Amino acid sequence: MSIDFFSDYTMTINGRAASSDKCFDAFNPATEAAIAKVPDASRDQLEETVATAKAAFPAWSTRPLSERQALVARIGDAIETHSDDFMRLLTLEQGKARAGAEWEIGGSVIWCREIAKQELPVHLAEQTEARTVEIRRVPLGVVGGITPWNFPVLLAIWKIAPALVAGNTMVLKPSPWTPLCTLKLGELLRDVLPAGVLNVVSGGNDLGAWLTQHPEVRKISFTGSTATGRKIMESASGNLKRITLELGGNDPAIVLPDVDVEKTAKKLFWAAFQNSAQFCVAAKRLYIHEDIYDELSQALVAYAATVKVGDGSEQGTDLGPIQNAVQFEKLKALLGDARASGLRFLAGGEIPEGRGYFVPVTIIDNPPENARVVTEEAFGPVLPLLKFSDIDDVVARANRTEYGLAASVWGKDIGKARSIAERIEAGTVWINEIHSFSPHVAFGGHKQSGIGIENALEGLAEYTNSQTIVTNHAE
Ligand code: NAD
């Protein structure tokens, strides 16, 4: 199918293009230029979309699993066929550099293919002459998917693939900051999926709220901030919707004194700054043992000087801009607070003049534990380095947060690193690596970083209800 990825953005409702009376602009964060008009769905359109998804559910949910799996794998094929357009559009609307776009679009293809291989087995709890007790998983109905602006394609696929394999239909709402790739994905899939199975609607935060309140929507799968997650939990209570919430994080990285400083510095740099640190699982607080603090902080600063921040579409750019004006203002305020508090900048800290939401790689020298740059999720390239000497103390400091998304521990003594990992209150703890994700590995937050799991069979199961069938053989 031939699609122009760079103009004419429409929603997908019941397998057809839909525009809206109202529109909003999408921007290129590297230039601040408006790049597209985006339909702003009305409440009536949302009603129509949910009705469409509901109407498509009986046929989709009773289609053999193998056919649903094959169609989800074909979503991956369709993305792969158009991967260059997706990458260019992703850079244009999100800002990320080419390597990041390749990672995200390549990952989306892999996720479709791998989730398409998953199947939830029927569990035979009892099989005797008298009776059979089977526990099987059945789809829920219409699922609402709501995604953020940092990885708009991959995080949408994390929802679409399992929801559809499990037999649900979906209404997907991308972030108003990054709707373009998702709208084009909907357009591309009009030829792949039966009408109504995947609907894509665009609009502001209100549209998300209407979706989460809707009585015909049986589940919300949400990725975004903890503040919005709380609102969704509240509004989902109306019809006791199932919810999966993947929320914010303030991930600690603990660096033990026996690491190879040079090698680890580079890994830690990317652990913190990948995607311009607009990454839920970025290392956001770096706890460094006092014995290597000076050496490692110097190595980080030296490495930072080799990294180019710029327009993601330009060759040689390593890190793109902040994705949107609101987040840019938040980061400026955070930097202003750090400066006013007298914190010492080892790198960055000054916002350059000119167009584009650019924040330089900023590294802050051992701020107090209660500084805002330590307690808040910056969601941008502002990294505090923190000194520690005692393991019990650093574990307590690492856990002193409402979040519990992920963490990492770095050290040659694996036994010691492992014993620290076990004490961290987080859904994922990496040892001597970071950000290795897989469609077959469960991912989810502890504490206020979320509820539920994405990926793996546990993630697939969240798109189903458990149903027990008891058959008495005596009759
Ligand atoms: P956000 O919560 O502002 O928005 C996310 C989505 O929710 C958008 O589509 C938005 O339109 C929608 N929304 C806003 N208000 C709503 C409401 N009342 N009801 C329903 N939907 C509503 O988050 P963001 O700023 O786009 O993303 C950044 C946040 O996402 C960070 O905190 C980050 O850590 C988190 N995040 C978490 C993960 C994870 O897997 N845990 C992954 C990526 C991002």
Q: pLDDT for 270-299, tens place per residue?
A: 999 999 999 999 999 999 999 999 999 999
- Please tell me if the CB atom of residue 280 comes closer than 6 angstroms to any atom of ligand 1: yes
- Please tell me if the CB atom of residue 208 comes closer than 6 angstroms to any atom of ligand 1: yes
Of 104, 187, 246, 462, the active-site residue reads 246
Q: How far apart are CA 335 and CA 295, in angstroms?
A: 25
Geometric angle at alpha carbon 216, from 211 and 220, rounded to 5°? 45
- Rounded to the nearest angstrom, the distance between the alpha carbon of 175 and the centre of ligand 1 is 8
Given this model, what pLDDT does residue 474 score? Answer: 87
- Please tell me if the CB atom of residue 444 comes closer than 6 angstroms to any atom of ligand 1: no
At 173 the three-state DSSP class reads strand
How far from 221 is each of 121, 246, 402, CA to CA, in Å? 22, 8, 21
Residue 271: name the closest of 288, 290, 251 by CA. Answer: 251
Helix and strand numbers (H, E) in the chain are 15, 22
Q: How far apart are CA 362 and CA 309, in angstroms?
A: 12
Q: How far apart are CA 28 and CA 357, in angstroms?
A: 10
- Rounded to the nearest angstrom, the distance between the alpha carbon of 247 and the centre of ligand 1 is 7
Return all residues near 377 (Cβ < 8 A) that are at least 6 apart. 248, 249, 250, 284, 403
Atom number, ligand 1, closest to the C-alpha of residue 224: 30
Q: Are 189 and 108 in contact (CB under 8 A)?
A: no
- Please tell me if the CB atom of residue 388 comes closer than 6 angstroms to any atom of ligand 1: no
Query: Of 96, 226, 228, 243, which is best to mutate to test ligand 1, by the most ligand atoms within 8 angstroms of its C-beta?
Result: 228
Given this model, what pLDDT does residue 270 score? Answer: 98
Q: For the whole model, what pTM was predicted?
A: 0.98
Given this model, what pLDDT does residue 2 score? Answer: 84
Q: How far apart are CA 158 and CA 111, in angstroms?
A: 7
- Rounded to the nearest angstrom, the distance between the alpha carbon of 147 and the centre of ligand 1 is 6
- Please tell me if the CB atom of residue 249 comes closer than 6 angstroms to any atom of ligand 1: yes
Query: Of 205, 210, 330, which is best to mutate to test ligand 1, by the most ligand atoms within 8 angstroms of its C-beta?
Result: 205
- Please tell me if the CB atom of residue 212 comes closer than 6 angstroms to any atom of ligand 1: yes
Residue 82: name the closest of 228, 181, 222, 211 by CA. Answer: 181
- Rounded to the nearest angstrom, the distance between the alpha carbon of 132 and the centre of ligand 1 is 44
Pair of tokens at residue 215 = 């009585």
Domains (range + CATH), the chain = 11-247+449-470 (3.40.605.10), 251-438 (3.40.309.10)
Atom number, ligand 1, closest to the C-alpha of residue 229: 2
Atom number, ligand 1, closest to the C-alpha of residue 231: 18
Of 104, 280, 377, 454, the active-site residue reads 280
- Please tell me if the CB atom of residue 330 comes closer than 6 angstroms to any atom of ligand 1: no
Pair of tokens at residue 401 = 């947060």
- Please tell me if the CB atom of residue 228 comes closer than 6 angstroms to any atom of ligand 1: yes
Catalytic, 280? Answer: yes
Q: How far apart are CA 173 and CA 148, in angstroms?
A: 9
Pairing of strands 251-255, 283-289: parallel
- Please tell me if the CB atom of residue 205 comes closer than 6 angstroms to any atom of ligand 1: yes
Name the DSSP letter for residue 322. Answer: -
Chain segment 132-153, per-residue pLDDT in tens = 999 999 999 999 999 999 999 9
How far from 269 is each of 13, 225, 303, CA to CA, in Å? 43, 24, 8
- Residue nearest atom 42 in ligand 1 by C-alpha distance: 280
Q: How far apart are CA 389 and CA 295, in angstroms?
A: 15
Q: Are 412 and 259 in contact (CB under 8 A)?
A: yes
Return all residues near 423 (Cβ < 8 A) that are at least 6 apart. 395, 399
Q: Where would I find the beta strands (DSSP E) of 1-65?
A: 11-13, 16-18, 23-28, 33-39
- Residue nearest atom 19 in ligand 1 by C-alpha distance: 209
Q: How far apart are CA 261 and CA 411, in angstroms?
A: 10
What percent of the chain has a predicted confidence (pLDDT) above 90? 99
Residue 165: name the closest of 242, 63, 245, 77 by CA. Answer: 63
Tell me the angle at which helices 65-81 and 83-94 cross, rounded to the nearest 10 degrees. Answer: 70
Catalytic, 23? Answer: no
Phi-psi region of 41 (alpha: psi -120 to 50; beta: other; left: phi over 0): beta
- Number of CB atoms found within 10 A of residue 55's CB: 14
Query: Of 24, 104, 150, which is best to mutate to test ligand 1, by the most ligand atoms within 8 angstroms of its C-beta?
Result: 150
Given this model, what pLDDT does residue 79 score? Answer: 98
Residue 159: name the closest of 195, 108, 122 by CA. Answer: 108
Task: Write out residues in the chain with pLDDT < 70, as ranges.
Answer: 1
